[in-house]
Amino acid sequence: MGRFIVRRLLGMIAVLFAISVIVFLIFNVIPNSDPAARIAGKNADPALIARVSADLGLDKPLPIQYLTMMKQIFTGQLMSYAKDRNVVQQIWDGVPATFSLCIG
Amino acid sequence: MVATVGEMEAPGEPPLPAGVPKSQIQGRSPWYLAWLRLRRNKVALFCAGVFVLIVLFCLAAPLWAEHVAHTGPNENHITEKVLIDGQPTNVVGPDGTPIGPGLHGQYLLGADQNGRDVMVRLMYGGRTSIYIGLAAAAVTTVLSVIVALLAGYYRGWIDSVLSRIMDVIWAFPVLLLGIALGTALAVGGLKIGPLAIAGDSIWIPIMIIGFVYVPYMARPIRGEILALREKEFIEAAVAQGKGPLRIMFSELLPNIISTIIVFFTLNIANNMLLESALSFLGAGVRPPNASWGTMIADGYEMIYTAPHLTIVPGLMIIATVLSLNVFGDGLRDALDPRAKIRLEH
């Protein structure tokens, strides 16, 4: 029984890792989803986009970007670039509404 | 004598009256017994009939387009006029409101804001929607049966790896994964080895829908395989020296075929709902091609001025999905009355 639980927990970690990688990659594959271009505005020149890119660390290779994202998730520092707010805080803000919908 | 006759009857069948000679007791296959049970379920049969009628209706699309409507599904008639009550009327009025349903020869169900015939689009769109539903159900069924057979036969680490992969797909909400894959694949198309699909092909939504529902079907089938794997006839097959492939496909597969048939039927309905949702959100069938989902997406902006644009395809989706679900439930009751298999989503 103990071995079974350990095996399942290891499997859970592997699944969570795979999910995080897929979520990370989806936003690199979806077209027109470059956050730097979005923050820089409609008629931004390439230099501004490049600067925003560098600020967000989007000019680094993908594995480094992934590690940065995971570090920020585990330290609770992940910021939403669309709303410029802390993601953990946003999730907590949404919990009461989700919970009340779940229990009907 | 009577007692033996009663014992030979299948459960749920009325016993033969006393005194019937033994020669009248015929052998009946499980399929025949299932058909006898299905035949008593009038609601399920009615729904199967409704679905067949809808399919025939959609297959008749070219006939209607050529002989009645005289127009194709993507042809615009925005500047044309038709005779209604003897008066020439704009197909699309000056304020952008298209003509509604009515008996004026052409445009039986009215036109949309581009002056396209709703009836013709409904029929061609139905072909797309049903085609996607069927093809995606075939993709899901083949993939999940292979996954379930491998996982259930070999067990051990192969089962663990396959189950964890299923968990990964399962972790994403179906609609979210469909939208993400749909938008990502629509631009570049799909290339896996020799398989290359263009971004605007109908096979992109088929592959996406077929893929995202695999865990929902593979998991219950795997459970059945795991139970069957312990039965004596598998032991006997192994003792006779049958290989793994032979056991999987000629011993295990025939025993789960009734489950597969039921899942396939119910899966078509789920696929058609997902196709409508994806097309409505712009991640499914590419415009100008019609499907029932894209028709609702095209028409929902005019839901107050031209409600027929959304109500007509919406009703078709409801009728098709409802009939498939009721028929699938009836089929399950007929094939295995004790089964509790469910296709959750």
What is the tens place of the pLDDT at every residue in B319-342? 999 999 999 888 888 887 666 666
CB of B331 within 8 A of CB of B262? yes
Please check whether residue B176 touches A, CB under 8 A.
Answer: no
pTM of the model: 0.81
B334 membership: H or E segment, kind and range: helix B308-335
The model's confidence at residue B8, banded by pLDDT at 50, 70 and 90, is: very low
For A28-86, what is each residue's pLDDT tens digit?
777 666 777 777 777 777 777 787 777 777 777 888 888 888 888 888 777 777 677 78
Distance in angstroms (rounded) separating the CA atoms of residues B283 and B205: 8
Name which of B112, B148, B126 is nearest B298 in CA terms: B112
Q: What is the pLDDT of residue B333?
A: 85
B167/A15 Cβ within 8 A:
yes
Chain B environment of A22 (Cβ under 8 Å)? 168, 172
Return the residue matching tokens 């029929």.
B123
Please check whether residue B161 touches A, CB under 8 A.
Answer: no
Chain B environment of A19 (Cβ under 8 Å)? 168, 171-172
For residue B247, the 8-state DSSP code is I
ipTM of the complex: 0.75
Q: What is the pLDDT of residue B21?
A: 63
For A14-30, what is each residue's pLDDT tens digit?
999 998 998 888 777 77
* Residue of higher predicted confidence among B71 and A63: A63
Q: Which residues contact B160 (CB under 8 A, 6 or more apart)?
A: A7, A11
